[in-house]
Amino acid sequence: MSSHRFDADFGTIADLIRENALEAPDHAALIDRDRELSYEELDRMMDRVAAALLVRGIGPRDTIAICAATSIEYVAVFLGALRIGVAVAPLAPSATAESLAAMAADSGAKVLFLDATTNGSFMTVDLPHVAIDDLPGGEALSMWLAPIDAKPSAVTIDPDWIFNVIYSSGTTGTPKGIEQSHMMRWQQLKRLGPDAYGPASRSMISTPLYSNTTLVSLFPTLASSGAAILMHKFDARQFLGLAEKHRATHAMLVPVQYSRIMAVPDFDTFDLSSFKLKLSTSAPFSAALKRDILQRWPGGLVEYYGMTEGGGVTVLHAHQFPDKLHTVGQPSEGNDIRLIDEDGREIVTPGEAGEVVGRSSAMMNGYHNQPGKTREAEWFDAEGRRYIRTGDIGRFDADGFLTLLDRRKDMIISGGFNIYPSDLEAVLAQHDAVAEASVVGVPSEAWGETPIAFVVAKPAAAIDAEGLREWANARVGKMQRLGALRLVKSLPRSAIGKVLKRELRDAFDGKLA
């Protein structure tokens, strides 16, 4: 497959898959347990999905919703809808029934695709239901699909049409639907497809398909004629076994997955020599963990920092810059990343911290049906150019590498001083008995806010909470001292590994003077 196909100003992933089906019809596209779907079979199934939507009056610029576990059928339905300009809203099965109903309604979906794991969550949603696993809960997909030789009417995709609506919150808070256009996705394919992937790629897909983290690996793999190895649910040991069995070359994993994989006792017995590139994004990635991966897991390691909303992206080629593992790298080519202060003024002093804002060719249209939230997420420079605000606080070093300090909303202001939880978490991580730690701010009558820590001990380690708090406080500044420390069995996390700090704040059971 020639990389020149990515040179066009605009194209679609559906068209690229058709090209793959013509050039290498028998090449594996999707591998799911003992099943394998070739590019010819995937292309044909996409046509059947597209034709079935059209015959039911669902066409360009309409939306469908999918809420199900990862499967071949999930991917085919997603891609088949895109072929005729139908946008997709992939919903998180872990969300509450109330939240799922709200997201389905907000998306404007005309039909809902689900499976046995999720059909009970949509009992009150008044939409046609299609069961992609053919189990009770909706019309069976096998019966819903158009005939095997069906060909949908050709649709010319407008670059500004909505490709997908990804909801930023599915467990707490009000979900925000992030509108990504076909042009935004094309720009991502141009950046990732021709260089990182290719026909020989075999990518491990182990995060949920509703996550942008997953899609930015899945789509370039398929666009480049590689094979995607699907995992229904992540398990560290199973991941290693599948990677060895299928001679995996690529993986996109969030940091907590890397941590669990590296902790598998017999990790070093698995043959991972086929790996070319390992990728990570979505959550803080400790320098110590990156270093361990570089030492023990073959292939390069690349960390991406960015948002589902798009804007600026930084890239850290960890294997090339082992002295910069504490950073998230440098701005990717064509990305303009700046820092602003609390009043929205650009920070130009080297080493000074500020909120990260970014601009690139890959930026969201906006938040679906929420123009006010869209305006809040935007920043404009003196020339009127649009940037996306990240909500993250960071600083650039003299070499142009970005170090993240914390989320702006998680920064603790104690006695008028700014305290970055990541600084305290880094200190706690140095203790031999600490597996992981998270620091949050809680109300304090004397200081406004005070930092407290939640700590997970290493297996078989004995930790005295008060002793550990004193140990940490002896190593930080006076204003950074922890007001309390709680030992917990685990930290609450989202499906893609982000620590849910709001849950930690809500769980704190003490009062601080």
For the chain, the domain total comes to 3
Residues 112 and 183 in one domain: yes
Where is the domain boundary, 342, 375, 406? Answer: 406
Q: Are residues 69 and 20 in the same domain?
A: yes
Range of the domain at 136: 3-233
Q: Is residue 291 a part of any domain in this protein?
A: no
CATH of the domain at 439: 3.30.300.30
Shared-domain flag, residues 487 and 345: no
Q: Are 356 and 209 in the same domain?
A: no
Same domain assignment for residues 142 and 161: yes
What is the token pair recorded at 214?
Answer: 């997953």
Tokens 């140990």 — which residue? Answer: 471
363 inside domain: yes
The residues near 165 (Cβ < 8 Å, ≥ 6 apart) are: 63, 87, 88, 89, 107, 177, 178, 179, 180, 368
3-state secondary structure of 394: strand
Q: Is residue 118 domain-shared with residue 26, that is, in the same domain?
A: yes
pLDDT of residue 470: 96
Per-residue pLDDT tens over the stretch 263-305: 999 999 999 999 999 999 988 898 999 999 999 999 999 999 9
pTM: 0.87
The verdict on residue 325 lying in a domain is no
Is 165 found in the same domain as 37?
A: yes
Q: Is residue 450 part of a domain?
A: yes
Tokens 């576990």 -> residue: 69
Q: What is the CATH number of the domain that holds 350?
A: 2.30.38.10
Task: Choose one of 406, 422, 443: the last residue of a domain.
Answer: 406
Mean pLDDT of 35-50: 98
Instruction: Encode pLDDT of 367-379 as tens digits.
Output: 999 999 999 999 9
Confirm if 297 and 378 have CB atoms less than 8 A apart.
no
Q: Are residues 83 and 121 in the same domain?
A: yes
Residue at a domain's end among 378, 406, 434: 406
pLDDT over 80 at 416, yes or no: no
The CA-atom distances, in angstroms, between 465 and each of 39, 233, 352 are 56, 34, 34
456 forms bridges with which residues in the sheet?
436
In a domain? residue 261: no
Residues 18-28, mean pLDDT to the nearest whole number = 97
Mark whether 148 and 199 lie in a shared domain: yes
Same domain, 381 and 487: no
pLDDT in tens, 141-183: 999 999 999 999 999 999 999 999 999 754 345 578 999 999 9
In degrees rounded to 5, what are phi and psi of residue 149?
A: -100, 15
Determine phi and psi for 122, rounding to 5 degrees. -125, 30
Do the domain assignments include residue 447? yes
Residue 395 within any structural domain of the chain: yes
Which SS3 state, helix, strand or coil, does residue 443 take? strand
